[in-house]
Amino acid sequence: MNSQSKSTNAAVDPKVATRIPASRYTSTEWADLETQRLWSRVWQIACTEDCVPDCGDYWEYEIGPLSIFVLRDDEGALRAFKNVCPHRGTSLVSGSGRGLSEIRCPYHHWRFDSKGHFCGTEEDGVRTGRPGSMSLTSVAVDSWGGFVFVNPDLNCEPLSEFLEVLPKELEWVGMEQFGCSEFMTLEVPCNWKVVVDAFIETYHLHAVHPQMLAIADDVHTPITLYDKHTMFMQPYGVPSPRRNGDVSKQELWEEFIRNLGHRLGLSFASVERPGPHPPVPEGQTLRDVLVTKIREHLATLGSRYDHLDDNHVIDDFHYHVFPNSIFNVFAGWCGLIRARPGRTPHESYIDMWNFDLRPKDHPDRHPRPQVHCLTPDDVSSLGSVLPQDLAILARAQKGLRQDEDGLLRLVPAEARIGRMHEILDRYIDPPLDRRLP
Ligand SMILES: [Fe+2]
């Protein structure tokens, strides 16, 4: 497998997997393999550094049956532990909190310091074991771009190695300066990989989100396959060739503002009423005008993006960080979608976090995010794209259950899905009859 290959939708690395067993999305046996061999051995985003800004702050991360908590220790260092008491196996924390001076098991009040060392039982000063002999189980922890990654395998590669070229390639964005106030979570009736698949290909745009064809070129969306991770770059502010040139300036303007009005600094209320499109000077396109307006907004955030070319000002740099994180990266704004397995192979959670670059003097520059669990009704207020995706996710899972011995077929525009499954095999090392054909 090439360590990195660039391609367009039309000419993707021919070595990428194109047939995927449906059972990977439906079988309990496969989900158990993922718990044992993927989630227990891979770097994954647990939270952001803003979730645990001060000593004693903690944040639980649940992935299928596994639970890990991140803790800022008494010296300000990030730590992560398996959420289990070495006494009788009770989970130690639930959710998130602040100001923890020690970790106390709720079952028998065994106590641990912020470095995970056993401090004794509730009886003052009485130690029931040697210090360190009953420490909490550490999990590898590191951060990049403001995101806290964990890996239960202490023998794992360094995070910087796992991320390959991504930190260098995304340096221009300055994600460590971004803030997010609300983590939205939604339970969905499909496998976690159905979620990832839907968010890493643009092939469904014409069928599921036809309104987006007025503002995005889903045909000329070059894909880059790294080793584990993948990306595509989607041009915005231009109509899809599928519309055969029938998009008016007014339609492009209205759809752009409805979907990406925040990139011009518009409030949610104003994107509901886009108004008439601005004048387009002789020799320019509406995309040029949009670029100018986005530049004007970015200038209010500081000088970070002063020297970007038009491509980086307006287009979508869309990354899949294996296995379950998808970054929709724009200058000054970034959306993260994280998929997590649920109780069965047919359920999962979508976490949606929206980040924006806030100026240095912004009063809420690095807020501690609140978690908000969404209901299906809440989703309808979040624009048209997400409800369209959710409706198709449920139907995808229902269909996958009809022929669990079947093979899915991928087209070149879905090469990122094929690559994800190849890397999944690397971690899972499945039995012969479960491998990619
Ligand atoms: Fe979609």
Query: Cβ(70)–Cβ(82) under 8 Å?
Result: no
Structure tokens of 161?
């190695």
Cα(416) to ligand 1 centroid in Å equals 15
CA 170 to chain centre: 15
Instruction: Answer yes or no: is pLDDT of 203 > 60.
Output: yes
Cα(204) to ligand 1 centroid in Å equals 6
Cα(205) to ligand 1 centroid in Å equals 6
Q: How far apart are CA 214 and CA 88, in angstroms?
A: 58
Task: Count the alpha carbons within 13 Å of 108 in the hemisphere toward its beta carbon.
Answer: 11
- Omega cis (within 30) before 239: no
What is the number of residues in the chain?
Answer: 437
Instruction: Answer yes or no: is pLDDT of 367 > 90.
Output: yes
Task: Count the alpha carbons within 13 Å of 155 in the hemisphere toward its beta carbon.
Answer: 0
Cα(352) to ligand 1 centroid in Å equals 14
pLDDT at position 123 is: 66
Give the SS3 label for residue 99: coil
pLDDT at position 394 is: 94
Lowest mean pLDDT across 81-85, 126-130, 178-182: 126-130
How many distinct helices (H) and strands (E) make up the chain? Answer: 12, 22
The mean predicted confidence, pLDDT, of the chain is: 92
Instruction: Answer yes or no: is pLDDT of 380 > 70.
Output: yes
Q: How far apart are CA 394 and CA 436, in angstroms?
A: 24
With cut-offs at 50, 70 and 90, classify the pLDDT of residue 14.
low
Lowest mean pLDDT across 123-127, 193-197, 326-330: 123-127
pLDDT at position 273 is: 85
Query: Cβ(418)–Cβ(24) under 8 Å?
Result: no
Instruction: Answer yes or no: is pLDDT of 3 > 80.
Output: no
pTM: 0.94
Smallest CA-to-CA distance from 419 within 201, 208, 220, 149 is with: 201
With cut-offs at 50, 70 and 90, classify the pLDDT of residue 125.
low
Give the burial class of 201: count Cβ atoms within 10 A of its Cβ; 0-12 exposed, 13-18 middle, 19 or more buried.
Answer: buried
Cα(193) to ligand 1 centroid in Å equals 14
CATH architecture of 45-162: 3-layer Sandwich (2.102)
Smallest CA-to-CA distance from 249 within 284, 219, 206, 220 is with: 284
Query: Cβ(425)–Cβ(435) under 8 Å?
Result: yes
Cα(189) to ligand 1 centroid in Å equals 16
The CATH classification number of 1-43+165-437 equals 3.90.380.10
The average pLDDT across 201-222 equals 96
Cα(184) to ligand 1 centroid in Å equals 17
Structure tokens of 78?
């990030």
Query: Cβ(348)–Cβ(339) under 8 Å?
Result: yes
Smallest CA-to-CA distance from 199 within 95, 350, 330 is with: 350
Contact partners, residue 382, CB within 8 Å, separation at least 6 = none
Give the SS3 label for residue 143: strand
Q: What is the pLDDT of residues 25-48, one digit of tens each?
A: 999 999 999 999 999 999 999 999
Cα(221) to ligand 1 centroid in Å equals 15
Q: How far apart are CA 305 and CA 353, in angstroms?
A: 22
Cα(346) to ligand 1 centroid in Å equals 19
With cut-offs at 50, 70 and 90, classify the pLDDT of residue 4.
low
pLDDT at position 209 is: 97
Instruction: Answer yes or no: is pLDDT of 349 > 60.
Output: yes
196-to-200, 319, 349 alpha-carbon distances in Å: 6, 11, 11
Q: How far apart are CA 65 and CA 342, in angstroms?
A: 8
Cα(238) to ligand 1 centroid in Å equals 18
pLDDT at position 132 is: 57
The average pLDDT across 409-414 equals 96
Cα(161) to ligand 1 centroid in Å equals 30
Cα(388) to ligand 1 centroid in Å equals 7
426-to-38, 41, 110, 369, 423 alpha-carbon distances in Å: 9, 11, 39, 34, 5
Q: What is the pLDDT of residues 143-165, one digit of tens each?
A: 999 999 999 999 999 999 999 99
Cα(336) to ligand 1 centroid in Å equals 14
Cα(177) to ligand 1 centroid in Å equals 28
Q: β-strand 370-373 against 182-188: which pairing, if any? A: parallel
Q: What is the pLDDT of residues 225-278, one digit of tens each?
A: 999 999 999 999 999 999 999 999 999 999 999 999 999 998 776 777 889 999
Domain locations in the chain as residue ranges: 1-43+165-437, 45-162
Give the SS3 label for residue 295: helix
Cα(212) to ligand 1 centroid in Å equals 10
Instruction: Answer yes or no: is pLDDT of 9 > 90.
Output: no
Instruction: Answer yes or no: is pLDDT of 2 > 50.
Output: no
Cα(70) to ligand 1 centroid in Å equals 32
Cα(95) to ligand 1 centroid in Å equals 30
Cα(199) to ligand 1 centroid in Å equals 6
Cα(392) to ligand 1 centroid in Å equals 9
Tell me the residue ranges of DSSP E strands in 280-398: 316-321, 325-330, 333-341, 348-357, 370-373
